[in-house]
Amino acid sequence: MDRDADLRVTDFKEVDLGLSREEAVAEAKRCIQCKKPKCISGCPVGIDIPAFIRAIADEKFQDAVDIIKKDNMLPAVCGRVCPQETQCQGVCVLGIKDTPIAIGQLERFVADIERKKGAKCPKCAPATGKKIAVVGSGPAGLACAAELARRGHSVTIFESLHEAGGVLMYGIPAFRMPKDIVQYEINQVKKLGVEIKTNHIVGRSVSVQELLSYSAVFLGTGAGLPYFMGIQGENLPGVYSANEFLTRVNLMGANKFPENDTPVKVGKKVVVVGGGNVAMDAARVARRMGAEVTLMYRRGEADMPARLDEVRHAKEEGVFFMTATNPIAILGENNAVSGVKAVKMELGTPGDDGRCSFYPVEGSEFAVEADVVIEAIGQGPNPLLLRMLPELTRNRNGSVAVNCLGETSIEKVYAGGDVATGAATVILAMGTAKEAAVAIDKKLRT
């Protein structure tokens, strides 16, 4: 259940309050327990969905969590942020005629119950004496570390920021992903014996030589490098990458400036460029800080890569959607942003990927007033460490090339998550990381 939009735009508390016990059990009973469950194939980590739903229907909530945790270490996170409509719920058979089962909500429901009563710590296999280095503490790094620790290895995570969690901490805002839940999940990983060293930038505070002295290395450095549009006026004060804007607020607490020292500019009118989750998050944060927000996206609303819930929530919260519009310059006055010059786009027929092609309409230029512009047009792998590993083979888009085991072109160096797949999802990051962990374990045992 969502909190009322008028109320929630005034704070950073969680928007979706989740299901009550009665609602959860009733929803679970709606599942027809398919013989060949489509939903499982829709989940990137293949959770036994019908089994955990049946456990909920039988009110055996702990059993349900145990089933989920066999495949997914962070159910409280994934239940909240997975794009379920294109994954598990998108293929649920009930969705053909009726509403699909709210699988994400059920997953989150049992995870929240377990957290409130305190989860028991899973047992680790006997110590192998092997030391493994994990770079980055986002979902990929955490999932890989947890899996390896359970298999008896000694794991150290290096994280460059002062908090662990990656995008879960600095990117996704608290009203969507409460930070105490992220911290709780990270503590669960620590309880397995994983050591997390924050303020350790691999390639700088830890040399490549030191890194390669470990028995195996997992790169989970994400896709944190923000792209800029390359248009005029981009360096004006008041222009942010979504990463910077969100980091200032989520990690540094700029929404509480001057109580916290880090400032952020919002002004009266904000233009956010983009149509993904990142753009929605930036827009919704700006709304909560009192701005009028316009979201500019070059294609149509149906083409937006953001989760459906995010689009709906943003609209309910009063974000104005300006689709089929592309910025061509950022306008300035007295060294500050004054507006955005944009052009209307004509949408063509959908291509093979189902998304519309688009081209600018001649003579359709117009200007929108703005004090702040936030660009959320995508991001690539952070080059800091990768530059120091020139032997690492990269894909055309710059991501690290891996095989199906997560192996890179350098011996004993594995990679997973956004750095290998390109900017994707939390669950995919965890899925690829876990595969790499299994491969590392196997290699170290032979």
Partner 1 sequence: MGNYTIVQARALSEAVFEMWIHAPQVARHAKAGQFCIIHADGAGERVPLTISATKGDDIRIAFMAVGTTTKLLATLKTGDELRDVAGPLGMPSDIAEGSETVIIVGGGVGVACTPILAQAAKDAGNYVIGIIGARNRDLLIFEDDMRAICDELYVTTDDGSYGIKGFASGPLKDLCESGRKIDKVWIIGPGMMMKVTSEVTRPFGIKTYVSLNPVMVDGTGMCGSCRVTVGGEMKFACVDGPEFDAHEVDWNDLMTRQRMYLSEEKQSMEYREEHHECRCRKVE
Ligand X SMILES: Cc1cc2nc3c(=O)[nH]c(=O)nc-3n(C[C@H](O)[C@H](O)[C@H](O)COP(=O)(O)OP(=O)(O)OC[C@H]3O[C@@H](n4cnc5c(N)ncnc54)[C@H](O)[C@@H]3O)c2cc1C
The site partner of 38 among ligand X, ligand SF4, partner 1, none (C-beta below 5 to 8 Å per kind) is ligand SF4
84 is in the binding site of which of partner 1, ligand SF4, ligand X, none (Cβ under 5 to 8 A by kind)?
Answer: ligand SF4
d(CA 131, CA 217): 9
Residue 277 near ligand X by CB under 6 A: yes
DSSP one-letter string for 240-286: EEHHHHHIIIIIT-GGGTTTSS------SEEEEE--SHHHHHHHHHH
340 binding ligand X? (CB under 6 A)? no
3-state secondary structure of 349: strand
User: In sequence order, what are the beta bridge partners of 369?
Assistant: 339
Residue 140 binds which of partner 1, ligand X, ligand SF4, none (CB < 5-8 A, kind-dependent): ligand X
Binding site for partner 1 (CB under 8 A): 160-162, 197-201, 204-207, 224-226, 228, 230, 234-238, 240-241, 243-244, 247-248, 252-253, 257-263, 265, 335, 382-384
**224: Cα separation from own chain's centroid:** 11
What span, in angstroms and rounded, lies between the C-alpha atoms of 373 and 381?
Answer: 23
Q: Which of 278, 295, 314, 342 is in the footprint of ligand X by CB under 6 A? A: 278
Helices and strands in the chain, H and E counts: 18, 16
Nearest by Cα to 166 from 132, 191, 189: 189
Stretch that binds ligand X, among 44-52, 216-224, 229-237, 344-352 (CB under 6 A): 216-224
Name residues contacting ligand X, limited to 65-124 (CB under 6 A). Answer: 81-83
d(Cα 183, Cα 332) in Å, to the nearest integer?
A: 41
CB of 245 to partner 1, least distance (A): 9
Considering beta carbons, is residue 23 or 244 the nearer one to partner 1?
244
Binding partner of 263, given partner 1, ligand SF4, ligand X, none, CB within 5-8 angstroms per partner class: partner 1
Residue 346 and residue 321 in contact, taking contact as beta carbons nearer than 8 Å: no
> What residue spans of 58-102 are helical by DSSP H?
61-69, 75-81, 94-97
Angle, CA 184 vertex, CA 181 and CA 190 arms, to 5°:
150
417 binds, among ligand X, partner 1, ligand SF4, none (CB under 5 to 8 A by kind): ligand X
**Interface residues with ligand SF4 (CB under 6 A)?**
31-34, 37-39, 43, 47, 49-50, 53, 72, 78-79, 82, 84, 87-88, 92-94, 101, 103-104, 107, 427
- Interface ranges with ligand X (CB under 6 A): 81-83, 135-141, 158-161, 166-167, 171-172, 201-203, 220-222, 224, 246, 277-278, 281, 307, 382, 384-385, 417-419, 423-427, 429
